[in-house]
Amino acid sequence: ESSIGIESTLKAVFLPFVSKSHLLFMVDMARLFAMHNVDVTIITTPANATHFQTSIDRDSSRGRAIRTHLVKFPQIPGLPLGLESVDAETPKDISSKIYQGLFLLKDNFQQLFRDMKPDFIVTDMFYPWSVDTAAELGIPRLNCTGGSYFSHAARNSIEQFAPHVNVGSDYESFLLPGLPHKVEMTRSQLSDWVNERSNDFGNIMKMIKDADRRSYGSLFRSFYELEGTYEEHYQRVTGTRSWSLGPVSLWVNQDDFDKANRGNAKEKEENGVLKWLDSKEDNSVVYVSFGSMNKFPISQHIEIAHALEDSGYDFIWVVKKTEEGEEYGVLEEFEKRVKESNKGYLIWDWAPQLVILEHSAVGAVVTHCGWNTTLESVYMGLPMVTWPLFAEQFYNEKLLVNVLKIGVSIGAKEWKNWNAYGDKVVKREDIGKAIALLMGGGEECLEIRKRVNELSDAAKKTIKVGGSSHTNLKELLEELKSFKHQKVNHQMEGEV
Ligand code: UDP
C-alpha cells in the first residue's frame, strides 16, 4: 500500500436497490471497498437499512470509513409506513407503490451525488439514469450488476441470434449460438420479456444494457477460475469493461458474527440450527432454500415436504409464508413431525445461510440457482440440486450442470415471474431423484464433489493477496485513483 493522505483517499457513494436480494450483495460490495481503504457512503431508506446496519456499525468500529446516509421514503397513498423493500412477501399492489416512491426519490439521489462530491459512484443495475448523473459530475459510474457472466453471454446469444424463434414448440430444444460450450435450452425456460416483442420489463432491460455500455464498467461477483472463459466472452461481445471481485459475501463476512447476522437473521435461530447441525454427521444434511424473492403455492410446498421426508436424508428447509390467509397448517404439522423424529429443521422466513452452509454437516444444497447462493455453495464446496425459477436462473443452471458439472438438475421446465406462483408443480419423485443422486455416493456424485471442491479451493484463494479477484480490486482502485488525480490536475490547469 502506498502511503496516502486524506486528500488522496478515494470517496465513493453506493446506491443499492430496494429489494433484499440486490441490497445485500451491493452492501457487501460497499463493505469490500471500505475494507480496502475507500471512504464509503451507502444511500438508502430507513426500512432498507434495518437489513444491514449492524454490519456497517461493526465495520466502522473496526476503523473503516463507512456509513449509511438515510433518505426518508416518500408517503404514497395506500402504502403502509415502513414498507420500502420488494421481496417475496410483498404483495403486487404494494410493490408498484414502492416503485412509485422510488421514482420520486430519483431527484433526491441525484442531488445527494452532487452534494457529496464522490470520486466515483457504484449504483445498482436498476438505476440506469445514474450514468448521466456521473457524466454530469465527470466521475465514473460503476454498475453493480446481477448474475453470472454466463447468464449475460446466454442472453446476448439469444438477443443476437434469436434461436428460440425457429423452434416448433415451447419445449423443443435449441442451441445457443456463439457460446464457448454447447448449451441447449427451450423457449419455456426463457423470461417472458425475451419471448415477447413488446414488454415493459424488456424495455427497462434495454435501458439498463444501454447504461451498462455508457458506464465506466461493471462489477461482477464472479471470479476468474469459475467462469473466466465467459468473462472474456462477455468483454469481447459487449465491448465493455468489467471486474470480477467475487465471491464478495464470503470476502467481507469473515467472522462468525458477520456471517450469522447477514440480512438481519435472528440470533436465536442460528443457535438452534447450529446446535442441531452439530448433532449430525459430516455431509449428511441437505439445505433447501429458494432465496429472498420466490413464491411457491402450498401444493408445491407439499411436494417438497414429501420428497424430503421420503428421501431419508436429514434436511434444513427455509420456508416463506408469502400469502395472507394461505393454508400453512399442513406445513406446521410436518414441522412438528420432523422435529420429533429429528430428521428435519424448518426455518421460517430468513435463515443465517452463510453459517449453515459453512457447517461440515451440510452435504448438498437444493437451490433456485440465485447467483449469490450459487457462489456461496461453490465457496463451501457444496454440490447443488438445481431448480431454477425466474430471472436469469435457468442460465445459471446450464452453467452449473452443463459447463461446470457441479449440479444435478431437477428438470424444471418453466420460467415464471418472481412475483407469480406459476402453474407447474415439480413432483416429489423428481425432487427425490435429484437429491438421491447427489447424496447417494455413487460415481457421478463423487466426480461432482471432486469438481466442486476444486472450485471451492480456487474461490478461497482468489480473494487472498495474489489471487485474481484480489488483484482485480487493487488494479481497479489504482485506476480510480489516477482518474481522480487527472481530474484534479485538469481542474487546476483550468484555474491557472
Ligand atoms: N439469504 C439468507 N437467508 C435466507 C435467504 C437468503 O441469508 O433465508 C441470502 C443468501 O445467503 C444470499 C442471498 O440472500 O446471499 C440470496 O441471493 P440469491 O441470489 O441466492 O437469491 P435471490 O434472493 O436474489 O433470489
Mean pLDDT (whole number) for 109-136: 97
- Distance (Å) from CA 188 to ligand 1 centroid: 25
Structure confidence at residue 111 (pLDDT): 98
| Whether residue 249 has its Cβ less than 6 Å from ligand 1 | yes
Percentage of residues of the chain with pLDDT beyond 70: 97
Omega before 247 within 30 of 0, i.e. cis: yes
- Total number of domains in the chain: 2
pLDDT-derived band of residue 199, with 50, 70 and 90 as boundaries? confident
Q: 235 with 314, same domain? A: no
Mean pLDDT (whole number) for 107-134: 97
Residue 413 C-beta-side C-alpha neighbours within 13 Å: 11
Structure confidence at residue 4 (pLDDT): 45
- Distance (Å) from CA 21 to ligand 1 centroid: 6
Mean pLDDT (whole number) for 71-84: 96
Report the side by side order of strands in the sheet with 362-367: 344-348, 314-319, 285-289, 362-367, 384-386, 407-409
Q: 182 with 201, same domain? A: yes
Under DSSP, the state recorded for 190 is: S
Q: 293 with 326, same domain? A: yes
| Whether residue 293 has its Cβ less than 6 Å from ligand 1 | yes
Q: 328 with 420, same domain? A: yes
- Looking at the domain assignment, is residue 366 inside a domain? yes
Structure confidence at residue 202 (pLDDT): 81
Q: Whose CA is nearest to atom 7 of ligand 1?
A: 353
| Whether residue 371 has its Cβ less than 6 Å from ligand 1 | yes
- Looking at the domain assignment, is residue 261 inside a domain? no
Report which ligand 1 atom has the smallest distance to the Cα of 353: 7
Asked whether 375 and 298 are in contact (CB, 8 A), the reply is no
Chain segment 78-89, per-residue pLDDT in tens: 999 999 999 888
Q: 307 with 332, same domain? A: yes
| Whether residue 289 has its Cβ less than 6 Å from ligand 1 | yes
Q: With a cut of 90, say whether residue 417 has pLDDT above it.
A: no
Q: Whose CA is nearest to atom 22 of ligand 1?
A: 291
- Looking at the domain assignment, is residue 202 inside a domain? yes
Q: Is 218 left (phi over 0), alpha (psi -120 to 50) or beta?
A: beta
- Looking at the domain assignment, is residue 3 inside a domain? no
Structure confidence at residue 2 (pLDDT): 42
Q: 277 with 161, same domain? A: no
Q: How far is CA 68 from the centre of its chain?
A: 21
Alpha helices by DSSP H, 124-244: 130-137, 149-161, 192-195, 200-214, 224-238
Q: Three-state SS for 83?
A: coil
Structure confidence at residue 322 (pLDDT): 80
Burial of 24 (0-12, 13-18, 19+ CB in 10 A): buried
Q: 218 with 270, same domain? A: no
Q: 125 with 225, same domain? A: yes
Alpha helices by DSSP H, 117-173: 130-137, 149-161
Report which ligand 1 atom has the smallest distance to the Cα of 374: 20
- Looking at the domain assignment, is residue 307 inside a domain? yes
Report the side by side order of strands in the sheet with 39-44: 66-70, 39-44, 11-15, 120-124, 141-144, 217-220, 242-244
* Cell numbers describing residue 467: 489471487
- Looking at the domain assignment, is residue 257 inside a domain? no
- Looking at the domain assignment, is residue 258 inside a domain? no
- Looking at the domain assignment, is residue 1 inside a domain? no
Q: 330 with 377, same domain? A: yes
Question: What gap in Å lies between CA 149 and CA 144, rounded to an integer?
Answer: 13
Q: Which residues are catalytic?
A: 22, 124
Structure confidence at residue 3 (pLDDT): 43
Pocket test for ligand 1, best of 373, 374, 386 (most atoms within 8 A of CB): 373
**Higher-confidence position of 331 and 264:** 331
Q: What are phi and psi of 271, to 5 degrees?
A: -60, -45
Structure confidence at residue 7 (pLDDT): 58
Q: With a cut of 90, say whether residue 105 has pLDDT above it.
A: yes
What CATH number is associated with residue 55? 3.40.50.2000
Structure confidence at residue 423 (pLDDT): 80
Q: 221 with 354, same domain? A: no
Structure confidence at residue 490 (pLDDT): 82
Domain boundaries, position 208: 8-250+466-495
Residue type (1 letter), 305? A
Q: 471 with 456, same domain? A: no
Structure confidence at residue 324 (pLDDT): 67
Q: With a cut of 70, say whether residue 326 has pLDDT above it.
A: no
Q: 14 with 83, same domain? A: yes
Min mean pLDDT across 4-8, 183-187, 224-228, 376-380 is at 4-8
Mean pLDDT (whole number) for 164-175: 95
Residue with cell 423428481: 430
State the complex-level ipTM.
0.99
